[in-house]
Structure 1
Amino acid sequence: MRGRPATDPGSTQDARHDLRPDRRGGLARAQHGPVRRRGRAGPARSLAGDPRDDRGRPGRGPVARRAPGGLRWVIGRVEGIFTPTRVQFTPFTSRRSFTESLHSRAAGRAGCRAPEVPRSVGAAHHTETEQDMQAVILVGGKGTRLRPLTSERPKPIVPVADRPFLAHMLEWVARHGMTDVVLCCGFRSDAVVEVIGDGSQYGVHVTWVFEPEPRGTAGAVKMAEEHLQERFMLINGDVLTDMDLSAQIEAHERTGAVATLALVPVEDPSAYGLVRLEDDGRVRGFLEKPKAEDIDTDLISAGAYVLERSIMDMIPAGREVSIEREVWPHLVGEGLYGHVHRGAYWMDIGTPERYVQGVADVLSGAVRTATLDRLQDGPVMAGADVDPTAVVAPDALVEAGARVGAGARIGSGTVVGAGASVDAGASLDRAVLLPGARVGARAELSSCVIGADAAIGDAAHVKEHVIVGDGVQVPAATRLPEVEVAEDAPAAEAPAATRPIAAD
């Protein structure tokens, strides 16, 4: 039972870790290094890039819409609504005999290490404990709630401060001794492979597994079965966290569990599915959409599980399977334990509000990441051009190649990406500028995201978690979200910012 809705993986094809599907359906060698997307000359282009969606179908046309989660306005193309499919569970003919066999296999391994795996170069300085375990990370989601930020890039490689979101996860598991990583990919896996490569730059070695169609949390890991060790960590790749995985692994070994769920407390339990524990850590049950009078715990699943490989026998092959709905309920009382991570940072960054907050927390050190090490010598990186009269907060980041003009103010939680520019007198607070973005003189930005190569005109205001797509031009003196901005407006028409469009 997760504390958030599941994401929907997209379609890719099967390949091994050093190959990636090309756009013609074949296989090509993975190209390493960052993806650099440059704008095109001429009028402001579509926020979604290609007017066709990820399945090759024509887009629905330009709209400005009100998005879920309280976002005021998302400027971009609505490309469809994706609803997870619920699959009914087929019970086992002999559940008792099956769970007894799981216990007998797990008991012999309790307290033992998994087989040692080769360590990638550069991993040693990340290691906090010698667990010698494997991590399996599910990164198949489309990130639809972050569009248009994810219209041209899959969610795993959306930048969070100074590196792709998935890079933070890889460095996190490496710090806990897990340098053998299996990545189960779905939507736009070719772009993810291009950025992450073999994982060595993040201290891990990656094996790539691609879903031919959405398989759910359990179905995806079933596809990776041939690569799994006898014990491994399964992680949903959509949260920013610094949970102590080493402590969770030790708890799993100590109890002889079949599966140990990472649990975190939340302030408002009514908004989540809850996990009930016995005093000894065994999972007693799950409570979905609880009423106020039924709430007796504040614990939710944090999407990280220590598993015995034998649990794969519970997962049918060839179809979509949810581990939360179709596996955990059958293990209650049969070796399913929880480990509570109190005091750890944990956030799903799948909405614009939480994405902006997550970036700010990385920069401030509220969540432990390698980014903080880069900021030890200050927020302005070598090669950045910052006017002496500009002010840069200590918990901001100005990347190499960026330019900040006279009297500009770069406030807390702000990222000025490589090649981005901020003109004189502009003021930015908790604003994320992707590479190549431009902010005009006296513009005011707060709690927003400006896409790669986008341009914000002089004296424009962009606030309240607006996301401006890659390459979009926001005219001078525009106020967002008070005015909706259309995309792809013909040059003969009035400027896009003066053409209000009804929200969904």
Structure 2
Amino acid sequence: MNKMQAVILAAGKSTRTYPLTVNRPKPLLKVLDKTMIEHNLDQLHGLVDEVIIIVGFRKELVMEKLGSFYKGMKLCFAEQKEQLGTGHALETAKPFLKGKFIVLNGDDIYDKKDIAAMLEHDYAILVKEVESVARRFGAVVVKDNKVKEIIEKPAENISKYANTGVFVFKPDIFNIELKKTERGEYELTDFATGLAKKGLLEYEPVKGFWLPVGYPWNYLEANVEMLHRVKAKQIDETAVIEDNVTIKGIVIIGKNTLIKSGTYIEGPVFIGDDCEIGPNAYIRKDTILMDKVRTRAEIVDSVLMDNTTAKHTSYIGHSVIGENCNIAAGTITADYRHDAGSNKTLIKGEKVDTGRKKLGAFIGDNVKLGIGTLIYPGRKIWPNKTTLPGEIVKQDIVD
């Protein structure tokens, strides 16, 4: 009997999530205390025996992070040397595949119960019921418990089901010939479309959760969603909480973290290992402070990645700050429009409506801000950039 296998697609260079992914593959972004790809490996644990990971951009970072085994599952790596689409990426796994297998995107987060349900099928796609697929999702059109067709980001709301990027296939799908798209790529969905035309493709609706991370603010939202799934306060026994600290709600505090006097924390909040918070910090709900963060700031609904410092009075709201950044005294991330409208931001030269009334800044790794830096809502700063004292960031600061 063949062992159950999974394929995780982790080769792409994600430009829509810049500046967070300029220096790293998106699956290596941390959500709370582990990377996105590790979250998915956790969900696969107990369901599959072997995982083939398709690598490409900065492949060495993925391979070094994961090694050859994860919780008893064997890990194999197949390299996609050219970025020719997800269908081409899957074809690089072909030499490893022995029987039925499941395919997942490495940069979304999935629920184990949905993966288990998918494995009951021979050929299937995991779908999510959404309000509208128009211009946002791949639409999965179904009839009589079968998939009829998959249409990428249609102009009209033609189906209630969105494609989540999870499929169950058998190796005979490689008999389906893929055709190059107008973008010069080979798409994974064309394998599924070929099965649908033969009446073979079933679908499984999401019953757990699906956290897609297409844009920088989706990364913030994924962290907040995973934080909300924690149901009890967790304070490590090595953490030190000084007198006159207020902690309300569900708060996670990691190893060797120091919370200094006068700090006020309103959960849900995640604070990682080896952090120094306060004195007199104000950490508001939906804040995620990863390892070795030092801050005395007011922070709300934001992610501060490893080794970032905001040691003086400042305001960080609805933002993501990369690793090894220094947020200088008096920094303010503006996050609300005067007209109370939805914030828009530039993605690859085009304005994208984020659907968020509150939207702060997105700052890459190793950024150093000058004192009194003021940042307009939705602005982005690329890695290794700096600002002058008193600078007002009205436009993205890019390479």
Normalising TM by the smaller chain, what interval? 0.7 to 0.9
1:427 matched to 2:298? The reply is: yes
Which AA in structure 1 matches 2:254?
M
1:451 matched to 2:322? The reply is: yes
* CA offset digits 1:77-109 (Å, max 9, x no partner): xxxxxxxxxxxxxxxxxxxxxxxxxxxxxxxxx
2:118 corresponds to which of 248, 268, 291: 248
Structure with the higher strand share, 1 or 2 = 2
Is 1:486–1:500's contact at 8 Å kept on the other side of the alignment?
no
Q: Residues 484, 216 of structure 1: CA spacing in aligned structure 2 closer, same or farther, 3 A cutoff? A: closer
Is 1:485–1:496's contact at 8 Å kept on the other side of the alignment?
no
TM-superposed deviation, 1:334: 1.5
Q: 1:470 is matched with which residue?
A: 365
- Alpha-carbon distance in structure 2 between the residues aligned to 1:270 and 1:146: 21
Q: Which runs of 5+ in 2 are unaligned?
A: 237-250, 336-358
- Alpha-carbon distance in structure 2 between the residues aligned to 1:487 and 1:223: 32
* CA offset digits 1:201-259 (Å, max 9, x no partner): x5522101111212322222222212112111011222122151111221x1xxxx4x2
Q: 1:167 is matched with which residue?
A: 38
* CA offset digits 1:312-365 (Å, max 9, x no partner): 2224699952121x3333322424323232443212212111110000011111
Is 2:294–2:309's contact at 8 Å kept on the other side of the alignment?
yes
Q: 1:178 is matched with which residue?
A: 48
Is 2:318–2:360's contact at 8 Å kept on the other side of the alignment?
yes
TM-superposed deviation, 1:467: 1.5
Which AA in structure 1 matches 2:330?
A
* More deviation, 431-440/237-246: 237-246
1:225 matched to 2:97? The reply is: no
1:354 matched to 2:205? The reply is: no
Q: 1:382 is matched with which residue?
A: 255
Q: Residues 289, 213 of structure 1: CA spacing in aligned structure 2 closer, same or farther, 3 A cutoff? A: closer
Q: 1:128 is matched with which residue?
A: none
Is 2:263–2:279's contact at 8 Å kept on the other side of the alignment?
yes
TM-superposed deviation, 1:300: 1.6
- Alpha-carbon distance in structure 1 between the residues aligned to 2:44 and 2:173: 22
- Alpha-carbon distance in structure 2 between the residues aligned to 1:208 and 1:142: 17
* CA offset digits 1:150-173 (Å, max 9, x no partner): 122221111111111111111111
Q: Residues 374, 327 of structure 1: CA spacing in aligned structure 2 closer, same or farther, 3 A cutoff? A: farther
- Alpha-carbon distance in structure 2 between the residues aligned to 1:214 and 1:388: 51
- Alpha-carbon distance in structure 1 between the residues aligned to 2:317 and 2:131: 26
- Alpha-carbon distance in structure 1 between the residues aligned to 2:58 and 2:152: 32
Is 1:397–1:414's contact at 8 Å kept on the other side of the alignment?
yes
1:139 matched to 2:10? The reply is: yes
1:189 corresponds to which of 22, 47, 59: 59
| Structure 1 SS opposite 2:141 | strand
Q: How does 1:285-304 map to 2 (within 5 A)?
A: 285-290=149-154, 292=156, 295-304=157-166
- Alpha-carbon distance in structure 1 between the residues aligned to 2:286 and 2:176: 45
Is 1:219–1:315's contact at 8 Å kept on the other side of the alignment?
no
Q: 1:278 is matched with which residue?
A: 143
Is 1:457–1:474's contact at 8 Å kept on the other side of the alignment?
yes
Is 1:484–1:500's contact at 8 Å kept on the other side of the alignment?
no
- Alpha-carbon distance in structure 2 between the residues aligned to 1:239 and 1:408: 32
- Greater RCO, CA 8 A, separation 6+: 1
Computing the radius of gyration over CA atoms, which structure comes out larger, 1 or 2? 1
Is 1:400–1:418's contact at 8 Å kept on the other side of the alignment?
yes
Q: 2:348 is matched with which residue?
A: none
Q: 1:157 is matched with which residue?
A: 28
* CA offset digits 1:122-152 (Å, max 9, x no partner): xxxxxxxxxxx21001101112122221122
- Alpha-carbon distance in structure 1 between the residues aligned to 2:289 and 2:163: 34
TM-superposed deviation, 1:498: 5.1
| Structure 1 SS opposite 2:51 | strand
Q: How does 1:257-406 map to 2 (within 5 A)?
A: 257=122, 259-271=123-135, 272-279=137-144, 281-290=145-154, 292=156, 295-315=157-177, 320-324=185-189, 326-365=190-229, 375=234, 378-406=251-279
| Structure 1 SS opposite 2:134 | helix
Is 2:367–2:384's contact at 8 Å kept on the other side of the alignment?
no
- Alpha-carbon distance in structure 1 between the residues aligned to 2:66 and 2:179: 28
1:115 matched to 2:2? The reply is: yes
TM-superposed deviation, 1:296: 5.0
Q: 2:245 is matched with which residue?
A: none
- Alpha-carbon distance in structure 1 between the residues aligned to 2:62 and 2:383: 27
TM-superposed deviation, 1:465: 3.6
| Structure 2 SS opposite 1:474 | coil
Q: What TM-score do the two structures reach when normalised by structure 2? A: 0.80
Which AA in structure 2 matches 1:497?
E
- Alpha-carbon distance in structure 2 between the residues aligned to 1:241 and 1:473: 35
Q: Residues 288, 184 of structure 1: CA spacing in aligned structure 2 closer, same or farther, 3 A cutoff? A: closer
* CA offset digits 1:28-50 (Å, max 9, x no partner): xxxxxxxxxxxxxxxxxxxxxxx
Which AA in structure 2 matches 1:181?
V
Is 1:136–1:183's contact at 8 Å kept on the other side of the alignment?
yes
- Alpha-carbon distance in structure 2 between the residues aligned to 1:291 and 1:400: 46
RMSD over equivalenced CA pairs, Å: 3.0
Is 1:440–1:459's contact at 8 Å kept on the other side of the alignment?
no
Q: Which runs of 5+ in 1 are unaligned?
A: 1-113, 117-132, 366-370
**Number of residue pairs matched by the alignment:** 354
* More deviation, 329-338/191-200: 329-338
Q: Residues 233, 376 of structure 1: CA spacing in aligned structure 2 closer, same or farther, 3 A cutoff? A: farther
TM-superposed deviation, 1:404: 0.4
Which AA in structure 1 matches 2:143?
E
Q: How does 1:37-56 map to 2 (within 5 A)?
A: none
- Alpha-carbon distance in structure 2 between the residues aligned to 1:342 and 1:487: 36
Which AA in structure 2 matches 1:398?
I
- Alpha-carbon distance in structure 1 between the residues aligned to 2:161 and 2:127: 6
| Structure 1 SS opposite 2:224 | helix
| Structure 2 SS opposite 1:244 | helix
Q: 1:497 is matched with which residue?
A: 391
Is 2:375–2:394's contact at 8 Å kept on the other side of the alignment?
no
Q: Residues 296, 158 of structure 1: CA spacing in aligned structure 2 closer, same or farther, 3 A cutoff? A: closer
TM-superposed deviation, 1:449: 1.3
